[in-house]
């Protein structure tokens, strides 16, 4: 996330310097501070950009850090931010929902263009819009299926868990003994928990959804949903929403609670990690004996190729082999071959041996690694671990001293394994940021890792 990448058109790299106290605000809350570096330069000029939108078309907020902003422009910005807030507050939406469920089925309408539950007095105003009629209780209990997914990859990227993955996650959480789930950007898991809790008397799991999509406030009370931006740890509902989250984490002295998060894959790992650490710190403050040296249990759901970045921020995490599938994503669906295998995994600070994966889906337990792995992930005697990341059987390269993808071959020019079709004439070129050889721009030590 962060408009960093879209904020300026000239070539160069953008590094995140993180959230700053007193940062200017856009409709998505406090902006993040970035720095632009040209090739070989030390550090460029710093600027603020939107925390949630990478594309200037979605939010064009931009301000140089050293820029003097006039009172007139500040007033115009505040006015703009006010005008870009939702038309109803969360509390008003809760009241509207109470009125809506009392209507006979024939009068329950949902406007597809405004993505809003309509009360009869509002029909006239939406008369030329497309709407759904006779909204039943089952639909109200499954808002993620009623609402259009917002498929902007960077900001919302609402690719929703497939039922198989959602059910697996919930069963796993129950088996592990968790009773409260903080759902950060996982509306479908929250929905499944809420729905079971309302139908089954002996169902003991509770959940709180933190999500940037305010449309969910139409279906959940203030104790069930907080409007939240996970890129800058911003609660739109202010102190009251912050308190709701804190209270949820504090219950039962902070025991048996887990955070499950599924961020947009285009989001900056640094920004996400910073917010997640703040949520973990909130849990730590419960003051329970022994919490001081413990981390709040967490599942971070993200593609496997971000493993090293996530481990930079959370060294206690491990990546599980389970492939998480999505309903409305063409590539991230369960399959047995090639690209159709989902690259999305669960990163967790729980002991790997505790995470039992379904044998009927081809996972098996490796007694040496003490964890479940996918069937194609063979244990390498030299590396002494199950090395595959993508579900296929990887092969060991003696020269690289590690296992690599089956389609890779050792290239003597580059002195590493790569696809046979790679071009190695670029090996002399230095890093795009600092000009030095030996590493890529993404791993440049001169970029700040906040």
The model's pLDDT over 71-119, given as tens digits with 9 standing for 90+, comes to 999 999 999 999 999 989 999 999 999 999 999 999 999 999 899 999 9
What's the confidence (pLDDT) of residue 10?
41
What's the confidence (pLDDT) of residue 327?
77
What's the confidence (pLDDT) of residue 365?
93
Q: Angle, nearest 10°, between helix axes 269-284 and 238-250?
A: 60
The model's pLDDT over 376-420, given as tens digits with 9 standing for 90+, comes to 888 888 888 888 888 888 889 888 889 888 888 899 888 889 988
What's the confidence (pLDDT) of residue 53?
85
Exposed, middle or buried: residue 155 (CB in 10 Å: 0-12, 13-18, 19+)? buried
Tell me which CATH code domain 163-375 carries.
3.40.50
Share of the chain above pLDDT 70, in %: 84
| pLDDT range class, residue 36, cuts 50, 70, 90 | confident
The model's pLDDT over 258-309, given as tens digits with 9 standing for 90+, comes to 999 999 888 889 999 999 999 999 998 866 655 566 899 999 999 999 999 9
What's the confidence (pLDDT) of residue 406?
86
What's the confidence (pLDDT) of residue 337?
41
Query: Would you say 261 and 230 are in contact if contact means Cβ atoms under 8 Å apart?
Result: yes
What's the confidence (pLDDT) of residue 1?
36
Share of the chain above pLDDT 90, in %: 56
Question: pTM to 2 decimals?
Answer: 0.86
Domain positions in the chain:
13-84, 90-135, 163-375
Exposed, middle or buried: residue 151 (CB in 10 Å: 0-12, 13-18, 19+)? exposed
- pLDDT of 436 over the 70 cut: no
Query: Would you say 182 and 249 are in contact if contact means Cβ atoms under 8 Å apart?
Result: yes
Kindly report the three-state secondary structure assignment for every residue of the chain: CCCHHHHCCCCCEEEEEECCCCCCEECCEECEEEEEECCCCCCCCEEEECCCCCCCCCCCCEEECCCCCCHHHHHHHHHHHHHCCCCCCHHHHHHHHHHHHCCCHHHCEEECCCCEEECHHHCHHHCCCCEEECCCHHHHCCHHHHCCCCCCCCCCCCCCECHHHHHHHHHHHHHCCCCEEEEECCHHHHHHHHHHHHHCCCCCCEEEEEECCHHHHHCCCCCCEEEEECCCCEECCHHHHHHHHHHHHHHHHHCCEEEEECCCCCCCHHHHHHHHHHHHHHHHCCCCCCCCCCCCCEEEEEEHHHHHHHHHHCCCCEECCCCCCECCCCCCCCCCCHHHCCCEEEEECCCHHHCCCCHHHCEEEECCCCEEEECCCCEECCCCEECCCCCCCCEEECCCCEEECCCEEEECCCCEEEECCCCCHHHHCCCCCCCCCCCCHHHCCCCCCC
Rounded Cα distance between 298 and 295, Å, is 8
Residues 6 or more apart in contact with residue 25 via CB below 8 angstroms: 31, 77, 81
The model's pLDDT over 336-372, given as tens digits with 9 standing for 90+, comes to 443 467 889 999 999 999 999 999 888 999 998 899 9
- Residue among 235, 309, 223 nearest 279 (CA): 235
| pLDDT range class, residue 163, cuts 50, 70, 90 | confident
Query: Would you say 226 and 245 are in contact if contact means Cβ atoms under 8 Å apart?
Result: yes
Rounded Cα distance between 380 and 398, Å, is 12
Determine which of 55-69, 184-198, 336-350 has the lowest per-residue pLDDT on average. Answer: 336-350
What's the confidence (pLDDT) of residue 355?
95
What's the confidence (pLDDT) of residue 415?
86
Phi, psi of 79, deg, nearest 5: -65, -45
Higher pLDDT, 119 or 55: 119
């Amino acid at each position: 996330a962060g408009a960093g990448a879209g904020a300026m058109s000239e070539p160069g790299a953008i590094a995140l310097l993180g959230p700053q106290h007193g940062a200017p605000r856009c409709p998505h809350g406090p902006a993040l501070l970035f720095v632009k570096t040209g090739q070989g330069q030390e550090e460029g000029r710093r600027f603020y950009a939107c925390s949630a939108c990478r594309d200037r078309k979605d939010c064009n907020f931009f301000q140089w850090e050293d820029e003097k902003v006039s009172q007139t422009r500040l007033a115009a910005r505040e006015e703009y931010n006010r005008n870009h807030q939702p038309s109803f507050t969360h509390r008003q939406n809760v009241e509207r929902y109470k009125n809506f469920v009392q209507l006979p089925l024939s009068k329950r309408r949902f406007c597809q263009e405004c993505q809003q539950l309509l009360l009869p007095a509002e029909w006239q105003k939406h008369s030329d819009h497309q709407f759904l009629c006779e909204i039943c209780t089952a639909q109200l209990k499954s808002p993620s299926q009623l609402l259009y997914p917002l498929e902007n990859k960077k900001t919302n990227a609402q690719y929703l868990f497939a039922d198989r993955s959602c059910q697996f996650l919930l069963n796993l959480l129950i088996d592990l003994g968790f009773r409260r789930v903080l759902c950060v950007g996982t509306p479908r898991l929250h929905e499944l928990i809420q729905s079971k809790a309302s139908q089954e008397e002996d169902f003991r799991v509770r959940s709180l959804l933190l999500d940037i999509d305010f449309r969910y406030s139409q279906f959940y009370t203030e104790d069930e949903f907080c409007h939240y931006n996970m890129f800058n740890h911003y609660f739109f509902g202010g102190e009251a929403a912050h308190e709701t989250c804190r209270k949820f984490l504090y219950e039962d002295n902070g025991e048996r609670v887990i955070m499950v998060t599924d961020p947009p894959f285009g989001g900056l790992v640094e920004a996400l990690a910073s917010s997640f650490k703040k949520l973990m710190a909130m849990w730590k403050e419960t003051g329970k004996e022994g919490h001081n040296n413990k981390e709040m249990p967490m599942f971070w759901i993200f593609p496997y190729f971000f493993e090293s970045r996530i481990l930079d921020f959370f060294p206690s995490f491990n990546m599980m082999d389970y492939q998480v599938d999505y309903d409305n994503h063409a590539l991230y669906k369960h399959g047995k071959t090639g690209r159709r295998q989902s690259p999305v995994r669960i990163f967790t600070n729980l002991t790997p041996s505790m995470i039992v994966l379904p044998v009927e889906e081809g996972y098996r337990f490796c007694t040496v690694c003490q964890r479940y792995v996918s069937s194609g992930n063979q244990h390498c005697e030299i590396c002494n671990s199950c090395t595959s990341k993508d579900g296929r059987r990887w092969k060991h390269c003696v020269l690289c001293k590690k296992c690599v993808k089956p389609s890779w071959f050792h290239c003597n020019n580059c002195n590493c394994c790569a696809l046979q079709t790679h071009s190695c004439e670029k090996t002399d070129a230095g890093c795009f940021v600092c000009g030095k050889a030996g590493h890529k721009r993404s791993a440049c030590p001169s970029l700040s890792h906040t």
